[in-house]
Structure formats: structure tokens, C-alpha cells
Amino acid sequence: MPSYSPKVIHCMRAALNEVMTKIPVDQATQEVKAYMAEIILKAAAEGQTNYEVLLAAASQQIRAVLSQLMPGASVGPVRESALPPVRSPSVSTRS
């Protein structure tokens, strides 16, 4: 099991909190949050520990997660701010 520094854990938590603000309140369930956290953890396990990269990884999956977990719900457009530019993962702070 990977071990992360407090700084990386802070980045993962901040990315999760930020991506959850991009999800409509009526769809921001604990289940959705758990899926978004899983996406962030998988990205970190692959060495992507930069905040912007973690946020981008989760943001790019919002529609897919909502469609999977809430098939009958209307998945409106994701706000532009939810899709930050993907930056080079070469700036890694993995410990």
C-alpha cells in the first residue's frame, strides 16, 4: 500500500474538496464523493501527486461518475472551472 507525505495527503484532500464543489448539490452524495476520492487515490498511486493534476484527473471523470451512479438524473454541463488544464506530471512530490 502506498505511503504519502502529509503534503501529498493535503493535496489529495484539497483536490477532492474542490472537485466536489463542481458537482451539483443534489448529486453530491457520499457515494459520489467516495468515487471521486477513489479516482484521486488511483492517480496518486500512479505517481500523480501534484494538486492540479489530481484535480484534473477527478474533474475529467465527473460526468462519467454521475452518469454511472445516477443514470436517471440530468447531468448538466460541467462548469469550465471544473476542467483545469492538464499540466505535465513531471512535477511530482511523491514521497
42 within some domain: yes
Residues 6 or more apart in contact with residue 63 via CB below 8 angstroms = 75, 78
What is the pLDDT at residue 78?
55
User: For the segment 3-17, what is each residue's pLDDT rounded down to a tens digit?
Assistant: 899 999 999 999 999
Q: Taking the complete model, does pTM exceed 0.85, yes or no?
A: no
Would you place residue 1 in the very low, low, confident or very high pLDDT band (cuts 50, 70, 90)? Answer: confident
Domain count, the chain: 1
Q: Would you state the pLDDT for residue 45?
A: 95
Domain extent at residue 56: 6-82
Determine, yes or no, domain membership for 90. no
Q: Does some domain include residue 92?
A: no
- Taking only the tens place, the pLDDT of each residue in 27-82 is 999 999 999 999 999 999 999 999 999 999 999 999 999 998 887 665 555 554 44
Is 94 a domain residue? Answer: no
CA–CA gap between residue 26 and residue 10 (Å, rounded): 26
